[in-house]
Each structure stands twice: as structure tokens, then as C-alpha cells.
Amino acid sequence: MPPVADRPTYDVAVTDVGSQASGPMVVAVDASRRDADALTLARLLQPVLDAPIVVAHAHPYGRLGSLLDDGEHENLLRVVTDRVSEHVAEAGDAAR
């Protein structure tokens, strides 16, 4: 991923919506390079919407539950969660 300084910049116009936000802003991540862009946009919108940011990752590994015993399935989900968490932290740092 190119350094933040090398990425294209965009003018962003946001209208003040006051306290219209009724819940958290959910940012979906998929462990791709575009996660940093999604997190940057959320950070830009957060003060305007006055909404907490929640990072979410959906995965298709539930279907594997019937193929793995409970311990293996739990371990797989733990590894995926840890790796996505690390990726989000790195993407968040890149987005600053």
C-alpha cells in the first residue's frame, strides 16, 4: 500500500446532521488494502455524526463447523479474529 502522502486526496463536503445519528457507524473490513480507506472515511464522518465507530468482519467459516470438532473450529475462529484485528490496527495506523 502506498504511503498516505502518496495516495490521491479528495475534497469531502459533509453537512452537519446534528444528532440525527441513531446508532454506531459500522465499518466493514475484509482484510484488503481498502480497509484503510474505509477507516479513514469513518474517522472523517465520526465527528459530524457523533457516532461511535464499530469495526466488523464477516466470515464464511461457520459452515466449516460441521467438518471440524469444537476445539478446531474455535481455534480457526480465534486465528481469523486475531489476524483481522492485527490487519485493522495496521490499516488504521496507515489511515492516520
Separation between Cα atoms, residue 5 and residue 38, nearest integer Å: 17
Determine the length of the chain. 96
Q: Which domain holds residue 15?
A: 4-95
pTM: 0.56
Q: Tell me which DSSP letter residue 31 carries.
A: S
Q: Output the pLDDT for position 4.
A: 56
Q: Is the pLDDT of residue 17 over 70?
A: no
Separation between Cα atoms, residue 65 and residue 58, nearest integer Å: 15
Q: What is the total count of domains within the chain?
A: 1
Q: Output the pLDDT for position 86.
A: 85
Q: Is the pLDDT of residue 30 over 60?
A: yes
pLDDT tens digits along 51-94: 888 888 776 666 666 777 778 878 877 888 888 888 778 876 65
Q: Could you give the angle at the alpha carbon of 84 between the alpha carbons of 36 and 14, nearest 5°? A: 30
